[in-house]
Amino acid sequence: MEESRESISKFRRGLFRILDGIEWLGNKLPSPLLLFAILALLVIVLSGIFSGVAVTNPTSGEVVEVKNLLSLSGLEYIFNSAVENFIGFPPLGAVLVTMLGIGLAEQTGLIHTSLKGIVFSFPNKLLTAALVFAGVMSSLAVNAGYVVLPPLGAVLFLGLGRHPLAGLAAAFAGVSGGFGANLALTSTDAILQELTADAARTIDPAYADTITVTMNYFFAAVSVLLVTIIGTFVTEKIIEPRLGKYKGEADAEMEELTDTERKGMRLAGLGFLLTFALMVYLSLGPLRGDGAYIESPFFQALVFVIFLLFLVPGLIYGIVVKEIKNDKDLTRLLGKTMASMGGYIALAFTAGQFIAYFQETNLGTVIAFRGADFLDSTGFDGIALILTFIGLTMVVNFFIGSSSAKWTILAPVFVPIMMNLGYSPEFTTLLYRIGDSVTNMVTPLLLYFPVVIAFAQRYDKKIGIGTLISVMIPYSVAFLLGWLVLLLIWVLLGIPVGPGAPVQY
């Protein structure tokens, strides 16, 4: 027993040294704002070097060529699109709108008071698992989980005397893993199903018509338990011991609730329930739409829904505890929230340019198709093919952040290849989701990666890309290993990955 404990201790110390090295190296990089500016310039240079390099989509026959941003038309694009690239940076509006609601609840003290109630009533042992599980299930709200849960996880852990970065990491890991796991169907399932069916139609139109939105449901549902268990284990056995005790300036002590706070909580809770009931009515009635529920106008407006669900209780609580006495107080509190997001807004400018340049030049598309050509030329089959495809998806995820954008490129290439090798389109989609999910949390090109860094810097202004990557790598590796084991069992037992969705084609 002693030898076993000593071996575990040595392994942990060795792992911590590796992660410390990754953190040190990563933090030698410039600040995220400057790094994205450098990457944007690098894309411009690379577009000039590889200008004219082209690939052909084997399905559509379309030729995709690297565009040169150093050309006259390229320079015109750079100058004319700068403002649009900034305003159009996908997470910017969602983050600011959501944070207006969360910020008001935070500034009035509602979140702090709610956490006090949780601290005194919720079993600490179950908190990590509950946080990871909430992250997994947040994919129901598309990308909203990236904005809502990491900051709440950090505050919740801090309130319990635990390291806030560990809470942020647990939530971030759950949200990232949630794109490969869920107990319910999400908009991601619908998008991937359409792309998979279109790709399969080039080989077998009749089979393509049988592919449904539930194609990965069995595996995704079981994966919820897998991700929750692994995420909890990594947080409590690796991340928290490595981070140690939080020594920041934020106050982690909590006193018992006062009578005013209890009254504010009751009325805020009532306001939340009434707002939630109204949202349910709107989602089932006026905003239901005519198509699939997850494609309804209501689901398209989830960011605003989340804003209201925080704003109304925060406003009620602030009035009860007299933090909000008039409209000027409300304006002041909302202004403080936006002031705290100033660094992120500045970062969004350079990140927006980089993302836009990368898409405009077609560099990501060319890299993806060249990777597909490589896989096709390996001659791999069986386990080697499965592992290579997952690995290639992981690599591509470092160049193209959007899940649907990647599958739009990869599906027409890989689905036919895998069908010809005897694997169903549904199974190929599952492999893609695994590779995509495990690297979301460690790629700086994830649109919400800068958002999470901004949240982390509330507790340590020195935190950089290296710190966050070093914290998230254990989750990434553990999720990958866990999913590979589950996948092996699934294939050996021949269990369908979803209703009417076999492994073999």
Per-residue confidence (pLDDT) for residue 352, from 0 to 100? 83
Per-residue confidence (pLDDT) for residue 63, from 0 to 100? 81
The string of pLDDT tens digits covering residues 125-163 is: 788 898 898 888 877 655 667 877 888 888 888 877 889
The string of pLDDT tens digits covering residues 466-480 is: 888 888 999 999 999
Domain boundaries, the chain: 2-250+258-493
3-state SS assignment for residue 62: coil
Residues 6+ away with beta carbon under 8 Å from 4: none
The sign one gets for the Cα dihedral 392, 394, 397, 398 is negative
- Reference 48, options 444, 417, 357, 383; nearest CA is 357
Mean pLDDT computed over 378-395: 80
The string of pLDDT tens digits covering residues 242-283 is: 888 887 765 545 566 788 888 988 999 899 999 999 988 988
For the stretch 290-320, what's the b/e string if a residue is b when 16 or more beta carbons lie within 10 angstroms of its beta carbon?
A: eeeebebebbebbbebbbbbbbbbbbbbbbb
Per-residue confidence (pLDDT) for residue 295, from 0 to 100? 65
As a whole number of angstroms, the distance between CA 313 and CA 266 comes to: 10
As a whole number of angstroms, the distance between CA 142 and CA 158 comes to: 27
The string of pLDDT tens digits covering residues 85-120 is: 998 876 687 778 877 887 888 788 887 677 566 555
What 3 state SS string does 425-470 have?
Answer: HHHHHHHHHHHHHHHHCCCCCCCCHHHHHHHHCCCCCCCCHHHHHH
What percent of the chain shows pLDDT beyond 70? 83
Listing DSSP states for 242-311 in one string gives HH-S--SSS----PPPPHHHHHHHHHHHHHHHHHHHHHHHHHHTTT--SS-GGGSHHHHTHHHHHHHHHH
As a whole number of angstroms, the distance between CA 104 and CA 110 comes to: 8
List Cα–Cα distances, 476 to 157, 230, 343, 434, 441, in angstroms. Answer: 21, 10, 27, 11, 7
Per-residue confidence (pLDDT) for residue 169, from 0 to 100? 93
Per-residue confidence (pLDDT) for residue 135, from 0 to 100? 84
CB atoms within 10 A of CB 413: 20
Per-residue confidence (pLDDT) for residue 248, from 0 to 100? 72
pTM: 0.68
Task: Identify the DSSP state of 500.
Answer: T
As a whole number of angstroms, the distance between CA 489 and CA 505 comes to: 18
Q: Decide which of 462 and 237 is more confident.
A: 237
